[in-house]
């Protein structure tokens, strides 16, 4: 499933707060910081491990990264991980 941003109905898939469109094979995370966290995880996997991202997905993740920047804890966590493994997100 690809990540998307559409005007879906505010229903849930079980306890998950993601909107899931099974027919179109897409998901939409709730608005807020989780979108930035998802974006940074996918961008990291693309950069460090060669995960292929469609151009549309990359643009969406880059937009979410800008719209929902890392908070102080995410920055601190990134610094600590970088110190241990030698690369950062």
**Tens digit of each residue's pLDDT (9 = 90 or more) over 28-61:** 988 899 999 999 999 999 999 999 999 999 999 9
Task: Retrieve residue 84's tokens.
Answer: 């241990």
Q: For the chain, what are the domain ranges? A: 2-85
Among 18-22, 38-42, 68-72, whose mean pLDDT is lowest?
18-22
Cα separation, 26 vs 70, in Å, equals 25
Considering the chain, what percentage of its residues have pLDDT values greater than 70? Answer: 92
Q: What phi and psi values does residue 19 have, to the nearest 5 degrees?
A: -85, 135
pLDDT on residue 17: 80
Q: Name the pLDDT band for 64 (thresholds 50, 70, 90).
A: very high
Alpha helix locations (H) across the chain?
A: 33-49, 55-67, 72-85
Q: Name the pLDDT band for 10 (thresholds 50, 70, 90).
A: low
Task: Retrieve residue 27's tokens.
Answer: 């998901």
pLDDT on residue 42: 97
């Amino acid at each position: 499933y690809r990540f998307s941003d559409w005007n879906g109905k505010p229903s849930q898939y079980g306890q998950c707060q993601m909107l899931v469109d099974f027919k179109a094979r897409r998901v939409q995370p709730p608005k807020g910081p989780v979108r930035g966290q998802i974006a940074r995880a996918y961008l990291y996997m693309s950069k460090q491990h060669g995960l292929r991202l469609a151009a549309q997905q990359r643009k969406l993740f880059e937009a979410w990264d800008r719209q929902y920047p890392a908070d102080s804890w995410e920055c601190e966590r990134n610094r600590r991980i970088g110190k241990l493994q030698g690369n950062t997100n």
